[in-house]
Amino acid sequence: MTKFDLVIFDCDGVLLDSEIIACRADAEAFTGIGYEISPEEVSMRFAGMPDEAVDAALAAEIGKPLPANFRAEIKSAVIEKYRTELQPICGAETLLTSLKTAKCIASSASPAKLTLGLIETELYELVYPNIFSTRLVERGKPHPDIFLYAAEKMEASPSHCIVIEDSVAGVTAAKSAGMTCIGFSGGSHCTNGHSQRLFDVGADSVVDRLEAVLSLVE
């Protein structure tokens, strides 16, 4: 028997090398309205958070509402880059294919973005239909709602779930849900100190290659 009954994957930055695309798009848009920030800073501060939470934080810091269609324009730019630049994280297909433990995705991305990214990288059929978005719960990461929702739908006890997460918000959410968490620092968006940041918020271990996940899980 395996120790865990369910492996819960974050998607962006864990299975898809997409966080770098989103961080660049956010940084460009934020700078365009006078809030200068680098893609690296976007990654450190906002990775793993739902877009609504990011935009609320940004509006609070600049002290005024964001322009109309601000997030819609960012989403359009990201979707366009998904079709031309998006790649899976190295080892994602092999891991999803080899894993014997039940698995699902629990992501802050919208259902449409999730689906497109998984289809473009040919991972969709390896995880379908067990794909859950924070649109299904009241609160996004760093709150535990999406992980608890996924565990319930997959009929697994939180204490028997292990989460694979690349972001501070995601690791925080997983630990708040009472789950074991492997931090992942192998995405293109991960900068120096990323592994330590994940350890600092409670990651039980951190790896920079998906190949290492299989032995830790099973």
Q: List the CATH number of the domain containing 107.
A: 3.40.50.1000
**What is the rounded distance in angstroms from the CA atom of residue 184 to the CA atom of residue 23?**
17
pLDDT value of position 26:
92
My answer on whether 93 and 76 are in the same domain is no
- Judge whether 98 lies within some domain: yes
pLDDT value of position 1:
38
Q: What separation in angstroms does the CA of 165 have from each of 8, 11, 25, 110?
A: 9, 8, 21, 17
Residue 203 in 3-state DSSP? Answer: coil
Which of 85, 104, 126 is a domain's end point?
A: 85
Q: Are 172 and 142 in contact (CB under 8 A)?
A: yes
- Judge whether 137 lies within some domain: yes
Q: What separation in angstroms does the CA of 153 have from each of 109, 123, 178?
A: 18, 21, 16
pLDDT value of position 181:
97
My answer on whether 62 and 127 are in the same domain is no
**What letter does residue 198 receive in the DSSP assignment?**
H
My answer on whether 78 and 102 are in the same domain is no
> Across the chain, what does the average pLDDT equal?
94
pLDDT value of position 2:
53
The total domain count for the chain is 2
- Judge whether 147 lies within some domain: yes
C-alpha 118, offset from chain centre = 13
My answer on whether 12 and 23 are in the same domain is no
My answer on whether 212 and 140 are in the same domain is yes
- Judge whether 180 lies within some domain: yes
**What is the rounded distance in angstroms from the CA atom of residue 82 to the CA atom of residue 86?**
5
- Judge whether 124 lies within some domain: yes
Which of 69, 85, 101 is a domain's end point?
A: 85
My answer on whether 76 and 159 are in the same domain is no
pLDDT of 18 higher than 70: yes
Q: What is the pTM of this model?
A: 0.87
Which of 63, 85, 107 is a domain's end point?
A: 85
Query: Domain range for residue 185?
Result: 6-17+87-217
pLDDT of 136 higher than 50: yes
My answer on whether 118 and 170 are in the same domain is yes
Q: What is the average per-residue pLDDT within 136-158?
A: 97
- Judge whether 110 lies within some domain: yes
Query: Among residues 12, 6, 8, 10, which one has the least CA distance to residue 25?
Result: 12
My answer on whether 95 and 199 are in the same domain is yes
Range with the lowest mean pLDDT among 41-45, 97-101, 154-158?
A: 41-45
- Judge whether 1 lies within some domain: no
